[in-house]
Structure 1
C-alpha cells in the first residue's frame, strides 16, 4: 500500500492528476475502510485526493454543455458563458485550435513574470504563492480602455496533464475571492 501511495504522489507531482486519482481511488476501493482511514490521516494524501476529485469534476463539467450559452462560434474558436448559481459571477469557457507547440503554450502559463511582455493589457504580474509545480496564485494589474478603469485581481490556477491516458490537457483559473 505504501508503494502505491508513493506512486500516487509521483504522478500528482508530475501534474498527472487524473492518473493519480484513478490509482488512489482504485486502491481505496480494494483496501476498504482501513485504507480510507489511513489516507484520511495523511494530510498530503487527503489534499491529493481532493485535488484529483476537483480536476475530475472540472473535466466532467467541461464536457457538459447543458448550462452553457454559446456566445461566439468561429471557425477555430468557440466561447460560452454561464451564470454561477447564487452569485453575480459568470464563468467563461473557450475552445480554440492553437497552432503552437506545447512548450511555448505552457510557458505562457508557467512564466508569470513575462505576462506584461506577452499580454498588452497586463501591466504587472506578481507570483504570490506556488503550492505545487502547476498551481499558482498570481496578482495581475490589468489596464482597460476608457470608459473602464484599471483593475487588479488575484487568480488561482492549475494545470492538469492528461495527455498520456486521457488525451487532454487543461488549464483552470479563477479569481481568488477573500
Structure 2
C-alpha cells in the first residue's frame, strides 16, 4: 500500500512538473493543435466539407511519406542543374557558332543530374504543389480536409 501511494505522489509531481515546464524550451505541449482542430472543424462545418462529396479529394496528403529524404543543398543543385539544362537548350536554338560547346555543356549537366534523381522527384512534387489552383473551391476544400495531417507532420518535422 505504501508503494502504491508513493507511485501516485510521483505521478502527481510529474504532472505538476509538466504543467510548470509547459512553454519552456523542449517541453512545450502544443496548444496550437487544439486551436487548429477548432478552426478546421469550423471551416469544415461552414463549407460542408465533411460530406461524402469530399471523399477522395485529398490535395496534399498524397505527397506525404512518398519521398526519400534529401538535403536542401541537393534540392538547390537539382534545381540549378535543371535550369542550366533549359538555358543551354535555349541558347543552342539561338546560336550556331557555339552549338557544339553548348551541347557538351548540356550533356555534362544531364549526366550530373543523374546524381540527383531523388531531388528531381522532390522538385517535381514541389512544382505540382506550388501550382495548385488555390482559388478552386475543390482544391480549397480538399486542402482544408488535409490540413490536420499536414500540420501535424510538419510540426514534428520542422524541429531541428
- TM-score higher than 0.5: no
Higher CA-based Rg: 2
Ranked by relative contact order (alpha carbons within 8 Å, sequence separation 6 or more), the top structure is 2
> Going by fraction, where is helix more abundant, 1 or 2?
2
TM-score (normalizing by structure 2):
0.28
